[in-house]
A and B are shown apart, each in its own frame.
Chain A
Amino acid sequence: MTTTDETLTQYVVLIYEHQTPNWPDDMPPEVMAANETFDDWIAEQGGRVVAGVGLQASDTATAVRNGVVTDGPFIETKEALAGLYVLEARDLDHALAIARMTPVADGGVEVRPLLGLQLGEPG
């Protein structure tokens, strides 16, 4: 694990959204706008975003289970995984204080400690 600061712990914030048929096109503009400034806000709180990932709608997903390919996400849920970011924070309370401000349209987040992170070389 490569933390910039030894007193910080890395978490993954998983973003779950109740996805509408035209997701992500009909994601509300205010949520999009809030996402633009969110990293800066996190930095002001003493945290840091190491990496961020946004996902296409869950109906574009393909699952492979025991070698069998099926249409759709691995687990069907009312709220689908819509994105995630790797966050460095002091402790769980700090991480939760930041994660709870994550811009979401209609859903919520899950915070989990990170086991490992490997980023590919820029190609």
Chain B
Amino acid sequence: MTDVERAVADAHRGEWAAVLAATVRVTRDLDTAEEAVQDAYVRALQAWRRDGVPARPGAWLTTVARRTALNLLRRRRTFEAKLPLLLGPEETGPGATATDGDGGAAIPDDRLRLVFTCCHPALAPEAQVALTLRLVCGVATRDIARAFLVAEPTMAARLTRAKKKIAAARIPYVVPPAAELPARVDAALTVVHLLYSTGHTAPAGDDLVRRELCERALDLAQVLRRLLPDHPEVAGLHALLLVHEARRRTRTDTAGRLVRLEDQDRSAWDRDLIAEADGMVVTALRAGPPGRFTLQAAIASLHAQAPTYESTDWAQILALYDELGRVWSSPVVALNRAVAVAMVHGPEAALPEVERLEGGGRLAGYHYLPATKADLLHRVGRDADAADAYRAALALCDNAAEREYLAERARSVDPAG
């Protein structure tokens, strides 16, 4: 990669959302702004090769994108007049152009508006994720399609439909009022978390694309933390992702097979990241009754700081799961809580809880349920039942690394089976 290519790539990753948000102020619709910004990045590659990389790439890109947008609008004026506008007229008035003086650098609020529009609950969850990647992160439609294992035209249609709904239903381009903010922040954090999880434990797909999803999610978490410093859940989510990052390299072995938490090489975990995350968790816990991301981060952080699996502070982890179940009741949380119950009170105490979840039916098709049950059965000495449960998990699992692990467990607990 040449210096210019690297500069464009850096500006793409670092400035896309700000450039797009500043361009929306001119176009007042997302589609035209997106097209103009895309075009500005293409021009940057040629212009910067010829003239050198500008001192402030973001400002250069914003200026070019806005000029392109104005040309596009002039051409489409008759058509555009019939479309509902994303921003009210008062929002494109003198206050909005005050940023022009310094080359059009967007105020932080602009990026937040973009995030809240993309993560609006009136959009389907998969559309929220795709829009956030496209509009906030600037990831190409082709790459989003690859990450989510759908054909490019399918993903393009999904994005088009979502943008059409934003325009037709007039989903506002605003930071929500204080009363709605906690729920809307939670929706945005859910999207970021889903992005990271998709990259971290994708059911399938190639590693490079998945890695990019994780990095984008981390970038977003960091940006949101800067923009929403008073929301402890934002710090909670960021901390949660950092702990996952710290342990990432030990999740699979050199052959790509999944390694259980208890078997992971703890000396290879990134201690600096874990310490950074823990500091954030402590601050978030002090800020008031903790939300679900802070609680999950606290649990992950305790695991990350334990010298061994056995000497983990399981009693504390169980208490955190109890609290998590209160603020965010979900069968997946109940299943993870059962693992902590087994460590504190023994596998006999945890088995009935897992069986109750099995009877509840909401986790049907979730392979971690029979896998967890299998571990518990093995620990109480019921190896034939354990092998059956591992095989039941295997039948539900698509991920090659996890399938190999489950098959190996089934063989090792019941070599005769």
**Which residues on A are within 8 Å of B, measured CB to CB?**
7, 9, 11, 90-94, 96, 111-113
Contact = CB atoms under 8 A, between A and B. Distances in A.
A9 B172 CA distance: 11
A113 B89 contact: no
Contacts of B120: 92
A7 B170 CA distance: 11
B88 interface: yes
A-side binding surface: helix, strand, loop or mixed? mixed
Contacts of A94: 172
24 contacts: A7-B89, A9-B84, A9-B170, A11-B169, A90-B88, A90-B172, A91-B170, A91-B172, A91-B174, A92-B120, A92-B122, A92-B169, A92-B170, A92-B171, A92-B172, A93-B171, A93-B174, A93-B176, A93-B180, A94-B172, A96-B122, A111-B169, A112-B169, A113-B170
B352 to A, nearest CB: 35
B319 interface: no
Interface of B: 84, 88-89, 120, 122, 168-172, 174, 176, 180
Nearest to A114: B168
Contacts of A113: 168-170
User: Lowest 8 CB-CB distances: which A-B pairs, in order?
Assistant: A91-B172, A9-B170, A91-B170, A113-B169, A113-B168, A92-B171, A92-B169, A93-B172
B-side binding surface: helix, strand, loop or mixed? loop
B187 to A, nearest CB: 13
Contacts of B171: 91-93
Nearest to B116: A93
Q: In this complex, which of B120, B122, B176 has the most chain A Cβ atoms within 10 angstroms of its Cβ?
A: B122
A114 to B, nearest CB: 10
Nearest to B168: A113
Given A92-B122, A96-B122, A7 B88 contact: yes
Contacts of B169: 11, 92, 111-113
Nearest to B176: A93
Contacts of A112: 169
A90 B176 CA distance: 14
A100 B383 CA distance: 54
A113 B171 CA distance: 10
A115 to B, nearest CB: 9
Contacts of B180: 93
Q: In this complex, which of A9, A94, A112 has the most chain B Cβ atoms within 10 angstroms of its Cβ?
A: A9
Contacts of B176: 93
B333 to A, nearest CB: 28
Contacts of A92: 120, 122, 169-172
Contacts of A93: 171-172, 174, 176, 180
A93 B177 CA distance: 10
Nearest to A93: B172
A93 B180 CA distance: 10
A12 to B, nearest CB: 11
A90 B89 CA distance: 12
B219 to A, nearest CB: 27
A18 B89 CA distance: 42
B82 to A, nearest CB: 10
B175 to A, nearest CB: 11
A111 B170 CA distance: 12
A111 B120 CA distance: 15
Contacts of B174: 91, 93
Contacts of B89: 7
Q: In this complex, which of B168, B169, B172, B176 has the most chain A Cβ atoms within 10 angstroms of its Cβ?
A: B169
